[in-house]
Amino acid sequence: MNHTSSPSERRGWLGRLLTWWGRLVTARPLLTVVVFGVVLGGLIGAAAVFGAQPRDDYNVTNVPAYAGGQLLEDHLPELTYATATVVVHDGPSGAVPASVINDLVATLRDVPHADTVAVVGTSTDGRTVAIDVRYDRAVTDPAIWGRLDLLEKSFTSTQEQGYAVDATGPLPLSAAQPFSGRGEVVGVVAAALVLLIGLGSVIAAGLSLVTAIGGLVAGGSLVLLLARVMSVSTVAPTVAAMVGLGVGLDYCLLLVVRLIEFRKAGLAPRAAAVAAVETAGRSVLFAGITVLLALSGLSLSGLPIFASFAYATALAVIAAVAAALTLVPCLGMLYARRLPDRPARAISVDEEGATGYAALTERWAKEIVRCPIASIIVALVILGSLALPALSMKSWPQDASNEPTSFTNRRAQDALASGLGEGFGATILAVASSTVSRSDVETFAANVTDVAHVKEVTPLGKSPDGKIIVLAITPTIRTADPGTPALVNDIRALAPDGVHITGDSPVNTDIADLLGRRLPLVMAFVIGSACILLGLIFRSVAIPIKAALMNLLSVAASYGAMQLVFHDGYGRELIGVDKQVPVSSYVLMLMFTILFGLSMDYEVFILSRIKEQFDLTGDPATSLAQGLADTAGVVTAAATVMVAVFAGFAAEGDIIVKQMGFGMAVAIFLDATLIRMLLVPAAMAVLGRWNWWPGAGRDRPKAGGEGTGTRFADKAGLSTASR
């Protein structure tokens, strides 16, 4: 007996699950919106009451510098406590009078938890004076973490006399320039314009913005709650907001476009909302999964701080997916009569065929199919040229000297460098255990003075229990100088067994080395997991390999662009960078994982449509041109939104956020243009039917590519009159 499956059965378990969810949230759309608002309010309240401020975890246990730091913590803990270097500089005239310094020192002694205050350096002309403030507890203690304001209150009298007073060191760095929100504002405004043009409706654009912002607020609240149970990097919430806002707007755009298409096909408001969730919801769900899968690769980095980046960003993505799949169908129903009959011509496709930008894309794809090899060569030459500078890239964790001049840390570092030398404050500590003889320590100290970039070696004495001896090595170069890794390695090469080298410069050197060793492992995991996921979706061998190679190209090109701008200086003034800075070693790994997940979003969406056309026609060339025409407008609009958001965050002051925003904006731009519009169609044209081997001709799990409104309605059995 022949059995004919129902539309629901043909859509598979995921289709049935999404259809169930769509029907659930749209049964009482106003109630669903109210419930979402209550949940969101609860999260905001919980974050306000139970949330905690992010704090960096400086306890990196799997690097060589940790041993020396642990000896200090066990036997001479005051050397591990928080410090701040207060710098008086640029006074009205001449040297800073002793009376001014004495008054400031007396005031600083009254700062809460300040233990000792002493002048530690004066420039030869007396115009720059450095004062060391040592606290009675670790910088991560909640009583002082981020409390630069308590220190700055002591500067008022000195500043009123015409002197500049700034501070640097661990405590001021814990209160680095706060996230201004400028990136969010710029990103939202630019995205709003793109959505308005693409959707052709204030209501449709507003619906997307409200939903994305709701997801952003939910994600931010979850990150603050996360900070209560684990250490969360101070930069992690900003990165999470950047990614959460970008993907949230993209997901909303996909759903709104599909909803409008189904309304145009004649479906009633609720049926259109459910159909949008069942179709575009697949893309949103798979997109979220790919980003989460890529983020999980950060667990292999070996750094606790990266785990916090992964968790925080994952929460932002989950919140964005939940908001999109819940609010868009409900708001789409509530404002059904005020939505446009169709998206703007720039991103729409009629049942009769492509129009506007879609028609142009279809013609473009057909031209590429005629000469794919030439297209591949052109794309590879451009991307390769952009990626070439990355070969000379030497990354390094950032220090205060690389921050904007609006940061007090940067101004203090500049004043110290010009008045007291580049290496002032970049002290390297040598910690000798009791197993090392005094003569060996003295020999080591004498040998270190001959090392390049070493200014002097100063004994700090023994610990009270006599277990360790500490030497302070003052370099002539700052922590972020390109020569610092060689300096640290040269000192370590002279150290006898039992002498451990620690301090900011050794820790940063070790972190850079660790990330350099772990990056290939993280890359292998992210690429491998993404390939497996794509292989399962499309039952293809060529598609995952092609996608991985092309994503690597866009990431490499973005690395090269970052090297050109931040290190080589081409156009850096345009994004608020006033000096040569290295690309942060933190940024490279973070960018790779996040970008790989985001790039797969577009890959799944485009290939799903191409595969649908191939299943219908069996013609690789026709399916390629039609699939690109179907998706070109939406993908271009989505990528433009993402680029706008990331470019907005490039306007932030923090150098890591700035580099992340710039690099990701470049990568997404290249991915949506050279990769998706040139390299992908050219490569698929060369592969032909081999794109879908070995699964060609079989039913496949869909990821959002069920066609335009009427075709889906016919296949799904949805009535145009259904509610």
Tens digit of each residue's pLDDT (9 = 90 or more) over 637-674: 888 888 888 888 887 777 888 899 999 999 999 988 88
Backbone angles phi, psi at 370, to 5 degrees: -70, -30
pLDDT at residue number 179: 57
pLDDT at residue number 34: 97
Q: Residue range 278-296: average pLDDT?
A: 88
Q: Which tens digits make up the pLDDT trace of 193-239?
A: 888 887 778 888 899 999 999 999 999 999 999 999 988 888 888 88
pLDDT at residue number 125: 93
Q: Which tens digits make up the pLDDT trace of 82-121?
A: 999 999 998 888 899 999 999 999 999 999 999 999 999 9
pLDDT at residue number 705: 47
Q: Residue range 391-404: average pLDDT?
A: 78
Task: Report the candidate in 454, 457, 496 with the shortest Cα–Cα distance to residue 477.
Answer: 454
User: Is the confidence at residue 470, as pLDDT, over 70?
Assistant: yes
CA–CA gap between residue 274 and residue 25 (Å, rounded)? 9
User: Is the confidence at residue 57, as pLDDT, over 80?
Assistant: no
Helix 680-687 vs helix 542-562: angle between axes, to the nearest 10 degrees?
Answer: 150
* H or E, element range at 85: strand 83-89
CA angle (306 as vertex; 302, 312 as ends), nearest 5: 145
> Which residue shows structure tokens 């607020």?
217
Q: What is the pTM of this model?
A: 0.82
Assess contact for 82 and 170: CB atoms under 8 A.
Answer: yes
The pLDDT confidence band at residue 8, using thresholds 50, 70 and 90, is very low
pLDDT at residue number 337: 85
Task: Report the candidate in 603, 609, 610, 602 with the shortest Cα–Cα distance to residue 635.
Answer: 602
Query: What is the residue-averaged pLDDT of the chain?
Result: 85
User: Is the confidence at residue 9, as pLDDT, over 80?
Assistant: no
pLDDT at residue number 168: 92
> 689-718 burial by CB neighbour count: b if 16+ within 10 A, else e?
eebbeeebeeebbbbbbbbbbbebbeebeb
Q: Which tens digits make up the pLDDT trace of 587-615?
A: 888 899 988 888 877 787 788 778 878 87
pLDDT at residue number 255: 92
pLDDT at residue number 177: 54
pLDDT at residue number 315: 96
DSSP state of 348: -
Start-end of H helices in 371-503:
372-387, 408-420, 438-448, 484-494
The pLDDT confidence band at residue 358, using thresholds 50, 70 and 90, is low
Specify the higher pLDDT residue, 385 or 600: 385
Domains recognised in the chain with CATH numbers: 8-49+179-396+512-716 (no CATH), 81-174 (3.30.70.1430), 404-510 (3.30.70.330)
Q: Residue range 408-434: average pLDDT?
A: 91
> 172-199 burial by CB neighbour count: b if 16+ within 10 A, else e?
bbbbbeebeeebbebbbebbbebbbebb
Q: Residue range 695-702: average pLDDT?
A: 50
Centroid of chain to Cα 482 = 25
pLDDT at residue number 233: 85
Instruction: Count how many Cα atoms sit within 13 Å of the Cα of residue 341 in the half-sphere of its side chain.
Output: 2
Q: Which tens digits make up the pLDDT trace of 289-347?
A: 888 988 999 888 888 888 888 999 999 999 999 999 999 999 999 998 888 766 555 55
Q: Which tens digits make up the pLDDT trace of 540-579?
A: 898 899 988 998 999 999 999 999 999 888 888 888 888 8
Residues of the chain above pLDDT 70, percent? 90
Q: Which tens digits make up the pLDDT trace of 152-175?
A: 999 999 999 999 999 999 898 887
